[in-house]
Structure 1
């Protein structure tokens, strides 16, 4: 932000190509039933530190905090879920703002999730309980050249269409077995 004698000027976020978004939307509309598989590989380095490889990117590190016997070198798996949700919502909000002609100058998402960890991966308290997050709260701190009502509608629309939010909201088949 730049402050002048009379006003504060907000710097827009790095823009997204609206033409690129339109082309992407048209491609999706032309073939709405495409399902894409997203392969990743996770390798345990030792203790609870894991390296996950996606495309040709450097390894994405996941670890546990010392309270869960990790080395505290990276987010734990549950924190990574919240990070994925926050990033997915942010991408959707920014893309939809661009399509609606809204220039954003601030987009921060603050996430918090409630989780019972007493089962500690099936070796702790094994009494019946809900596993995983029971509640997730997301607060979006957003600024741009739109009214509060327009920004609220933008966030609500992006939440409805977020793939990660819907993965968390809806049942999904998960198969785990030996290779």
Structure 2
């Protein structure tokens, strides 16, 4: 079974501004000015949606190429709502995450609606980001210290 290892590094620059590095790429994460940031980049929540949309388009093109489907272009719009009282520490009686995520996909192709829907189902089934959102993925948090590593997980 071929495994691909993916990793990034992130460090707080100033306030809510965070610099991330993935391979040779540098990205900025920030909050809007109204949220105390400088609006130098997308928020972590927006990056989640960016990842999902990017994965759907990427996997869509892989599927189209492999199956020789007449797909010219794929455009994606992602939206969702969450209760910010949880992330602000004002509530604990509900999830911190989105209550639902809507993904609207425009597939420019000479295909019927049914063929486009079947294509999108296959894309969703093969998209690692979609899979990680659909299914519980264990996360292990390790607090690095000079003495010994302290480990806790979300399970």
* TM superposition score category, shorter chain reference: 0.7 to 0.9
- What's 2:67 paired with? 100
**Secondary structure at the residue paired with 1:119?**
helix
TM-score, normalised by the number of residues in structure 2 = 0.85
Alignment of 1:134 with 2:102, yes or no, is: no
Go from structure 1 to structure 2 and tell me whether the alpha carbon gap of 1:167 and 1:83 turns closer, same or farther (over 3 Å shift).
same
**Count of aligned pairs:** 144
Runs of 4+ deviating beyond 3 Å: none
Q: 2:3 aligns with which of 17, 35, 42?
A: 35
Larger radius of gyration: 1
Q: Which ranges in structure 1 are unaligned for 5 or more consecutive residues?
A: 1-32
Whole-Å separation in 1 of the counterparts to 2:14 and 2:143: 19
SS of the equivalent of 2:60 reads helix
Report the alpha carbon displacement of residue 146 of structure 1 after superposing the two structures with TM.
2.4
- Structure 1 or 2: larger strand share? 2
Deviation at 1:37, TM superposition (A): 2.3
1:160 aligns with 2:108: no
1:63 counterpart (25, 30, 35): 30
Aligned-partner Cα distance in 1 for 2:114–2:28: 39
CA distance in 2, matches of 1:56, 1:127: 39
Q: TM-score, normalised by structure 1?
A: 0.75
What's the Cα RMSD here?
1.5
- State which of 116, 137, 143 in structure 1 corresponds to 2:83: 116
Please give the alpha-carbon distance, in whole angstroms, between the structure 1 residues aligned to 2:29 and 2:85. Answer: 20
